[in-house]
A and B are shown apart, each in its own frame.
Chain A
C-alpha cells in the first residue's frame, strides 16, 4: 500500500529561517484582503474577526511546567478580554503524558484546540484526517513568514497548525566562569577543542552532559551531523532517505567520540536539570542544550549566555541549527469550530504572543509583529541566530518517525557509554530504520 506521505525533507526545505522572516512583511500585505473575504463567513461560523464567536471552548495544553503554564493562562485571559462571549476551559496535562497519549486525546475529541509541534509531527496527524483544516484562519494571519506557513502545511497543501513560538539549540555557557577565567567564544572547532583543554587544566569539566529520557543528546548528534555533512544530508537522513551506515554518519560519531572526553561521564542517568545545575555552579563550563536550560533557575538565567556551535568544515559552515517550533492545532471535528479558529487566529497575533512571552521568556515569538523590546539578551540572541541561519531543523525527535527517534535514542545512549564498534552500531540502526520506515509507509 502506498502512502502519499512525503519525506520531512520536502517540507523542511521550506522552513529556512530567511524565508520565515522575510516572508513576514509580504504576508502582512495580504491580510487585509483575506480578512474582507473571510468576513463574508464560512459554514463554520468563523468570520476572521476576533470577537464574533461565542459559547464554550475547551483547550488542551501540555504546558505542565510553571512558566509555560502561566504563559498559556495569559493567552487565554488576553483572548477572553477581547471576546468575553467565549468561555475557554483550559485542561493542562503533564508534558510527557500529553505526548504519549496524543493519539487518544485526538480521538476522544474533548479538547477543540491542542498544543503540538510544527512540521513532521503535525503533518502526520493532518494526513491521517485527525486535524481540522485551518487554512481560512491563515488567510487572516499577519506577521508569520512563509517558512512558518510551510511548517504548518500538510500534504494536501492546507494548513493545520498555528506556530506561536520557537527556541534555539546552542552551546550555553556560564558567563561568570568565562569572564573570570578569560575564556572567549570559539569560532571554529579547533578553538572549541583548545577551550575545552584549557577548562580541563583549570579543573572545570568543559561540557555538562545529561541524557535521562534518551533525548537530550540527540541535539549533539543533530548539530554535529549538520556541521559535518550539512543541513540537506541531515534532513534526508531524518526522512529515511540516507543510510545510517554511510561513512558520512560514521564520521559524525568518530568526531563525537573525540569530543566525549570533554563531557561529564555518566550522562545516561543524569537529568538535564542536573546538567543545568552543574553549569550554574561552574562545575561545567558549557552545555549544548536548548535555551530552555535557562528555565532551570533564575540564577542560571542571569548567568547564562550561549554561542552557535562553531564550524567544523569550512565548506559546510555553521549556519544551520535546531530550532523547534511550538504551537497549536485544532481537532477534526471541534464542538465549537468558530471559537476554536478564532482562538487560533488570536494566538498568531502580537497581543497573544506578548502575553505569553511576558510569562515565559525562554522562547522567541513567531510573529514578526510581537514586541521584542522586552526580550532579554538570550531571546535577542536566539532571534539573531535563527535569523542568520540558512537551515532550521526541528530536532531529531520531531524530524523523524517517533519509532525511529526511539531507536536513535537507544543507539546514542549505548554509544556514549561505549563508543567502540561505531560501524556495527550504525549497521544495526540502519537495519531498524529500514524496517521502521517500511512499516510506516505501507
Chain B
C-alpha cells in the first residue's frame, strides 16, 4: 500500500528535484532539448559574481524572516496557545479570530495588506497617521532604506520589514493551532501531580509541559524554518518591490516568462534545496540523537 504513494512522491518530487540540480549546470532557454549546453559551475559562479547583489540580498532577507518568526511569531503563537488551553471564556472566538489569516489565500492576504493597509493614498496606516497628502505620504512598500544596516549594500530594508508583518500575522495563527493541539494531548494528571507538588505556573510549563511536547516542538521548528526559506507568495503578490528579493523569487524570476534562463534559475533552486535539507537533516539528527541518549 505504501508503494503507490512512494512511487508518486518520487516521480513528482524527487525526480524533478534531481533533474533541476542537473539543469543548474547547464545553459538552456526552456524550449528545445537540443539547445541545452553544459556549462559546469558557470551558473553558480555567475550568481556570486554578476548577480551577487540580488543573491546576497535574497539570502539575507530569508534569514530576516527566520529571525523574526523565531523571535516573535513562533513564541507568540505558543504563548497564545498556552493561554487558550486554559479554557478561557470565549476561547473558540479567540481561536477563530487568530486562525483566520491562515485560512485566507495568500493572494487575499497580499491584497488586504497592499490596498487596504499600506496604500500610500488611501491605506489605513497613512489615514490614521494623517499622511495621505502627496507631499508627505509614507511609502510603506516601496522604501528600501535600511532599518538595520549591516553594510552599505546589505541590511533589513523598511519595506521588507513591512512585508514580514503579514507573514507573522499568518504564522502566529498557524503555530497557535499546532501547539494547541499538542497541549490538548498533555495528560491532565501530570499537571495535577505538579500542582500537588507545589510547582508554579512557569515551573510546570518548563519542566512538565514543554518536555512532553517535544514531538510538537520539532514540528514547529521545522515548519518555522521551512516557512522562512520558502517565503514567496506574498512578495510576489505585492509585486516584489525593490529590496525585497528572496531566494524562491529569484528562482521563478529566472525561469518563468519567455526566454527563461533555466540554468541560473535551477542553480538558485539547488541552493535553496541545499539550505532546506541541510537544516532539516541537521536538526532531526541532533534531536533524535538526544532522544537516544
Contacts and interface: CB of A to CB of B under 8 A. Distances in A.
Query: Do chains A and B interact in one complex?
Result: yes
A426 to B, nearest CB: 14
Contacts of B260: 103, 403
B139 to A, nearest CB: 3
Contacts of A49: none
A175 interface: no
A269 B27 contact: no
A270 B46 contact: no
Given A274-B119, A402-B258, A417-B242, A103 B144 contact: no
Given A439-B27, A442-B27, A270 B258 contact: no
A274 B254 contact: no
A212 B145 CA distance: 17
A130 B32 CA distance: 10
A100, A268, A284: residue with the most chain B Cβ atoms closer than 10 Å = A268
A440 B51 CA distance: 16
Given A100-B257, A417-B144, A269 B118 contact: yes
Nearest to A402: B257
Nearest to A438: B27
Contacts of B86: none
B242 A413 contact: yes
A169 B24 CA distance: 40
Contacts, number: 116
B261 interface: yes
A427 to B, nearest CB: 12
Contacts of B263: 439
B139 A1 contact: no
B51 A266 contact: no
Interface in B246-286: 253-254, 256-261, 263-264
Contacts of B139: 265-270
B29 interface: yes
Interface stretch (A28-36, A121-129, A375-383): A121-129
B22 interface: no
Interface residues of B, number: 43
A21 B264 CA distance: 43
By size class, the interface of chain A is 35 or more
A177 to B, nearest CB: 14
A130 B242 contact: no
A283 B134 contact: yes
A130 B92 CA distance: 55
Interface in A73-116: 99-103
B142 A124 contact: no
Contact of B30 (A103, A205, A442): A103
B81 interface: no
A442 B241 contact: no
Which 9 residue pairs are nearest across A and B when measured between Cβ atoms?
A: A269-B142, A268-B142, A266-B139, A269-B141, A413-B242, A269-B139, A128-B31, A435-B50, A213-B239
Interface of B: 27, 29-32, 35, 37, 46, 50-51, 53-54, 118-121, 133-135, 137-145, 159, 239-242, 253-254, 256-261, 263-264
